[in-house]
Amino acid sequence: MKKVGIITIYDEDNYGNRLQNYAVQEILKSLELEAETIKNVNIIDEFNLLEEVKKVLPERRQRFLDFNNLNIKISDEVIIHDKVPENFHEKYDYFVIGSDQIWNHEFPERFSNFSFAEFAPEEKRIAFSASFGIEDIEEEHFEKYEHLKGVKSISVRENAGKKLVKNITGREDAVVLIDPTMMLTREKWMTVMKKPEMLKSDKYILKYFLGNVSEEKNAEIERFAKENGCDVIDILDRDSFYATGPSEFIYLIKNSFLVLTDSFHSCVFSILFNRPFLIFDRDEDGMRNMNSRIDTLLEKFDLENRRFNSTISEENLKVDYSNSYEILEKERKKVIEFLVKALELEER
């Protein structure tokens, strides 16, 4: 059995990151491959680690650690920054890079040459729905991506990513694939789902915003919730649901009345569990536009009507994802075709 090392952002405090990591692992296992995630920590991570841990509630951190320990096979060896042991590549037949924003150079605490598996022979390096996270990269930063040229097979998560690969390397062979989390069925996700201990409401609107939320938007959310007899659950409320882990995150989406978010993976799981959602443009002070992944998602699955447009109405509760599910089945086949070819497996 071929052994694959997964290279991704190793995180203990991000829902989408942990869930996509699990999805990549399970996809590879379904192809009869042995897969494990290579734990990697940048020097900057180590320097700031204690301060970052202080910001996270112990209960939240423990739920993320539990998810990792229960569901993800992680390497015994830890790679610190780019200090890869000699002949490390011999431990694996292939290295699968992705998904998530592993190629976003604006995250220096996460981005390094390791993100391209530059230590391994080119024929072992596969990028699976990898993401740059941003829509454009200035030419002055192109040198940071020199090892991208040596990745044998490249697939990216966003249309903008395909253009960036061409602009940086001249390569036109990159393909756009769905996020790995969309490859698993809702039944599969339910096997790792868990009801939050703090959940007491039977009818709630789930609110998950990584960016800022204006007073006007909050007022609109409260108005609609009151009119529909719903509680509002804010995952990032440090006094209540901030302790939610990846397993509880899935449960909250699956059982929600409506999902309001600026988060990509909240949209993904809303689609998978047939829940109505509205996507808000992310508002972050001084941050570059990172909406390309959401733009690609809504465009690909014909869901432009899921964008928030000043008000929330009863119309937003109506969902018909039948067309999206037909598209999803075709996209899933594309992923398998890409991996079978890239990993030199027998045709499925």
pLDDT at 348: 64
**Cα 248 from Cα 81, distance rounded (Å):** 31
**Which residues form the domain of 249?**
189-323
Domain count within the chain: 2
| Model confidence band, residue 288 (pLDDT cutoffs 50, 70, 90) | very low
pLDDT score recorded for residue 50: 46
Residues 26 and 172 occupy one common structural domain: yes
Nearest to 129 by CA among 338, 346, 341: 338
Going by pLDDT thresholds of 50, 70 and 90, the confidence category of residue 69 is very high
Query: What is the pLDDT, as a whole number, of residue 290?
Result: 58
SS3 string, the chain, reads CCEEEEECCCCCCCHHHHHHHHHHHHHHHHCCCEEEEEEEECHHHHHHHHHHHHHCCHHHHHHHHHHHHHHCCEEEEEEECCECCCCHHHHCCEEEECCCCCCCCCCCCCCCHHHHCCCCCHHHEEEEEECCCCCCCCHHHHHHHHHHHHCCEEEECCHHHHHHHHHHHCCCCCEECCCHHHHCCHHHHHCCCCCCCCCCCCCEEEEECCCCCCHHHHHHHHHHHHHCCCEEEECCCCCCHHHCCHHHHHHHHHCCCEEEECCHHHHHHHHHCCCCEEECCCCCCCCCCCCHHHHHHHHHCCCHHHECECECCHHHHCCCCHHHHHHHHHHHHHHHHHHHHHCCCCCC
On whether residue 294 sits in a domain, the answer given is yes
pLDDT of residue 171: 96
- For residue 271, the domain's CATH number is 3.40.50
Of 5-19, 69-83, 151-165, the range with the highest mean pLDDT is: 151-165
- Farthest CA pair distance, the chain: 63
Q: Give the mean pLDDT of 158-181.
A: 96
Residues 334 and 214 occupy one common structural domain: no
User: Do both 209 and 141 map to the same domain?
Assistant: no
Residue 151 forms part of a structural domain: yes
- What letter represents residue 332's amino acid? R
Query: 75 — phi, psi (to 5°)?
Result: -65, 150
* Judgement on whether residues 307 and 334 belong to the same structural domain of the protein: no
44 in a structural domain: yes
In a domain, 268, yes or no: yes
Q: Is the residue at 348 inside a domain?
A: no
From residue 212, how far is each of 80, 219, 281, 282 by CA, in Å? 33, 14, 10, 7
Clarify whether residues 162 and 218 are in a common domain. no
Query: What percentage of the chain has pLDDT greater than the value 90?
Result: 82
Residue 347 in any domain: the answer is: no
pLDDT tops 90 at residue 283: no
Label residue 201 by pLDDT band (50, 70, 90). very high
Same domain as 169, residue 203: no
Residues 227, 159 share a domain: no
Nearest to 74 by CA among 2, 147, 24, 111: 24
Could you report the per-residue pLDDT of 31-42, keeping only the tens digit for each? Answer: 999 999 999 887
* Residue 266 scores a pLDDT above 60: yes
What number is the average pLDDT over the span 194-202?
95
SS (H, E, C) 100-116: CCCCCCCCCCCCCHHHH
Query: Model confidence over 174-196: pLDDT tens digits?
Result: 999 999 999 999 999 999 999 99
Residue 73 lies in a domain: yes
Query: What's the chain's average pLDDT?
Result: 92
- Residue 44 is predicted with a pLDDT of 54
What are the pLDDT digits (tens) for 121-134? 999 999 999 999 88
Mean pLDDT of 10-33: 94
- End-to-end CA distance of the chain, in Å? 16
Structure tokens, 311: 């008000």
Counting every residue written for the chain, the total comes to: 348
**CA torsion through residues 254, 66, 191, 14, sign:** positive
Same domain, 101 and 153: yes
Residues 198 and 232 in one domain: yes
- Residue 123 sits in the same domain as residue 194: no
**Is 73 in the same domain as 101?**
yes
* pLDDT confidence bin for 55, thresholds 50/70/90: low
Q: Are residues 226 and 298 in the same domain?
A: yes
Q: Decide if 273 is inside a domain.
A: yes
**AA identity, residue 193:** M
